[in-house]
Amino acid sequence: MDRDATLDQLLAWAEEEDTIRTVVLTGSAARGTTDRYSDLDIQLYSTEPDRLLDRDDWYRQFGHVLVVEALENEGWNPTRLIYYAGGKIDFTILSTSLLDSGMELDRPFQVLIDKDHRSGSFRAVPLPGAEPPTEAAFLECVNWFYAALTMWAKQVARDDPWAGKIRDQNSKELLLRMLEWDHRVRKGWDYDTWHLGVRQREWVDPELLPAIAATWSGASRAESARAIRASLDLFDMLSGRTAEALGYVRFDCAGVRDEVERLLGGAV
């Protein structure tokens, strides 16, 4: 998929489609930070959004459709994430009635089509800054992480790699949360850590990248054991540093380490 050519085709279609009144570009293309793998993020404001949500012919014209994620997003605006051969477009389908009260967007955007001269309805607002975790939230993250690591070690001891990988994923979500807190407590709570680990090499301190890489593994028991130990080391350092910065009590994970080694000792 040629992203620029596809965008031109999409805009030509939207100009002819009378029910579509406004088209807004968001995401990396609006920021000007695309790479060859970047998606197109498009907001379509329509007088009849249900027509778009109930049909699939309109988005099939933009390329060879491989799969579709149709997300209703309860409490928010429905999306259609279209995976094409060679690219992806994330469509958000919105009603033009939303423009009556104005739209606040906290990421860069570009109004590409404005048939009714409603561009003034869009307002750029600062990205909400994160807030320091409460001590209860911090301790929850710490406890859940060490629980996930203990269960991961238990599945390695059982030689049950599928269940182990699920616990591995649980631990990664909590490790990422602590990694974000660690950076924001040191660099400011408005420091952009993106989401879901995206562009991690750009926002993480470079000296931490090898330690992060060591937490990943294949499914073998030996690799998993190494990753578990590396995860414990990294999380203990990050959580200790963050606890000290926030004035919280550092969690003593010595008992967890002993239990993990007991479990791994019988397996690896």
> Given this model, what pLDDT does residue 125 score?
84
Domain match, 8 and 118 both: yes
Domain match, 8 and 79 both: yes
* Domain assignment present for 165: yes
**For residues 14-25, average pLDDT:** 97
pLDDT tens string 199-240: 899 999 999 999 999 999 999 999 999 999 999 999 999 999
* Domain assignment present for 223: yes
Nearest to 104 by CA among 83, 76, 85, 126: 126
> Given this model, what pLDDT does residue 268 score?
64
Domain match, 68 and 164 both: no
Here the tokens at position 16 are: 């002819």
* Domain assignment present for 16: yes
Residue with tokens 């600062």: 126
| Domain termination residue (choose one: 94, 124, 154) | 124
Q: Cα(168)–Cα(224) distance, rounded to whole angstroms?
A: 9
Domain match, 103 and 204 both: no
Cβ–Cβ < 8 Å for 81, 71? yes
For 218, counting Cβ atoms within 10 Å of its Cβ (0-12 exposed, 13-18 middle, 19+ buried), the class is exposed
> Given this model, what pLDDT does residue 76 score?
85
> Given this model, what pLDDT does residue 192 score?
85
Domain match, 61 and 140 both: no
Nearest to 213 by CA among 232, 223, 227: 227
Helix (H, G, I), strand (E, B) or coil at 146: helix
**For residues 177-200, average pLDDT:** 92
> Given this model, what pLDDT does residue 33 score?
84
Domain match, 215 and 149 both: yes
* pTM for the whole structure: 0.83
Cβ–Cβ < 8 Å for 171, 145? yes
Domain range for 92 is: 3-124
pLDDT tens string 65-112: 999 999 998 888 999 999 999 999 999 999 999 999 999 998 889 999
User: How many structural domains is the chain composed of?
Assistant: 2
pLDDT tens string 124-163: 887 666 799 999 999 999 999 999 999 999 999 999 999 9
Domain match, 105 and 179 both: no
Gap between the terminal Cα atoms of the chain:
47
